[in-house]
Amino acid sequence: MVCTVVVGGFWGDEGKGKVVAYLALKDNINIAARAGVGPNAGHTVIHKGKAYGLRQIPSAFVNENAKLLIGPGVLVNPKVFLEEVEKTKTKGRIFVDYKCGIIEEKHIKADAELKKRIGSTGTGCGPAMAERVLRKAKLARDIEELKDYLADVPLIVNEAIDNGDNVLIEGTQGFGLSLYHGYDYPYVTSKDTTASSFAADVGVGPKKIDEVIVIFKAFPTRVGAGPFNTEISKEEAEEIGIVEYGTVTGRRRRVGKFDFEIAKRAVMINSATQIAITGIDKLDKKCYKVREYEDLTKKAKIFIERVEEELGVPVTLISTGPDIFDIVDLREEDYS
Ligand code: GTP
Ligand code: IMP
Ligand code: MG
């Protein structure tokens, strides 16, 4: 039984939602706790033919037996949260920590300046985080509409780990967007986005983490301004069939080639124990929906081998399409 943190290795949108949803079902996750900044993130989960763009609810909601939590380090926009609870029909098993910071309308207004200057998502996260640091923010415990959902998230998560449950900590954004380690300040988000911070967001200490899965897109993407050394032109991206739009902002994502230098640093700073590669079908269309390693093409296998060799960590999950079960799972352990 394990406690796993799932994190993004590039600039977000690596497919954390899809991978988390898969793990939630496959490993029969008991507890899933969302970490990260807040509703600036959008995880896409395609479940039973329906697509969800989740900004607050853990993607593990697809497992109806999982308890869903939002850690005290995460910002909550009550309106976005309540709408998603409705859409996912998760009332009764979703809980928000008393101490989550709250995003208010004034934060969304103030974010307009950041949107212009660095290309923020405009969701109010940066200004709400700043207000929290100034010790002026409202917390979830102050919000009447959230009172049915309040809980002591760190206590629930730690008790579950001590009981031997399978616990998943769902990170958001990606290594390249970290306030401390990203590429490059000021074109980053409003806090650190590495595994240690995600564990802290939900109140779990470093010795209780068993696995850190860092997810890399075969072709990284970036939304908003900021350096992107391996970026390719729009036309080149179209030629290889990569046209993506942001889940939250609808902006077209910039596309680049795999950046081994940044990936190496993401592995080091996250203390990765496993790597997941998503979008291998974009590297080679013939890999679309493949579920067995043997059925991947030579081109895909050469790429996976190079990733393992250069990064020194096993690639255990290879995503071959957007659906939850479009995946090659090479993990040896049986989590069931
Ligand atoms: P953030 O928390 O915002 O960083 O998002 P995320 O990591 O959950 O990723 P997001 O869902 O925003 O973007 C990933 C996109 O790629 C979505 O449209 C997914 O449906 C899609 N996707 C995920 N895995 C694969 C894959 O292996 N192949 C293809 N073709 N699409 C994928
Ligand atoms: P903010 O987090 O809204 O302040 O935006 C700061 C930067 O992080 C911008 O470049 C955003 O596009 C980017 N960003 C924040 N969250 C995500 C995410 O979940 N996926 C992709 N980019 C993100
Ligand atoms: Mg996203």
Q: What is the pLDDT of residue 72?
A: 98
Q: What is the pLDDT of residue 332?
A: 78
Helix or strand holding residue 302 (H, E): helix 298-311
Q: What is the pLDDT of residue 166?
A: 95
From 195, 179, 175, 221, select the one nearest 9 (Cα to Cα).
175
- Return the structure tokens found at 254: 């910039």
Taking the centre of ligand 2 as the mean of its atom positions, its distance from the CA of residue 333, in whole angstroms, is 34
Count helices and strands (H / E) in the chain: 10, 16
Taking the centre of ligand 2 as the mean of its atom positions, its distance from the CA of residue 121, in whole angstroms, is 6
Closest protein CA for atom 29 of ligand 1: 321
Q: CA 218 to CA 215: how far, in whole Å? A: 10
Task: Taking the CA atoms of 58, 59, 60 and 64 in sequence, report the sign of the dihedral they define.
Answer: positive
Q: Is the CB of 320 under 6 A from ligand 1?
A: yes
Judge whether 154 and 20 are in contact, CB under 8 Å: no
- pTM of the predicted structure, to 2 decimals: 0.97
Our mutation pick for probing the ligand 2 site, out of 80, 121, 175, counting the most ligand atoms within 8 A of Cβ, is: 121
Mean pLDDT per 10-residue interval, the chain, length 336 residues: 95 96 95 98 91 96 97 98 97 98 98 96 97 98 98 98 96 98 97 98 97 98 95 94 88 96 98 98 96 97 98 98 96 62
What are the φ and ψ backbone dihedral angles of 206, each rounded to 5 degrees? -60, -30
Q: What is the pLDDT of residue 127?
A: 98
Task: Taking the CA atoms of 229, 230, 233 and 234 in sequence, report the sign of the dihedral they define.
Answer: negative
Active site residues: 13, 43
DSSP 131-198: HHHTT---BGGG-GGGGGGEE-HHHHHHHHHHTT--EEEE--S-GGG-TTTSTTTTSS-SS--SHHHH
Q: What is the pLDDT of residue 248?
A: 83
Give the atom of ligand 2 at the shortest distance from the alpha carbon of 37: 2
Q: What is the pLDDT of residue 24?
A: 97
What are the φ and ψ backbone dihedral angles of 176, each rounded to 5 degrees? -65, -10
Q: What is the pLDDT of residue 246?
A: 86
Closest protein CA for atom 12 of ligand 1: 13
Q: What is the pLDDT of residue 121?
A: 95
Q: What is the pLDDT of residue 333?
A: 56
Give the atom of ligand 1 at the shortest distance from the alpha carbon of 53: 11
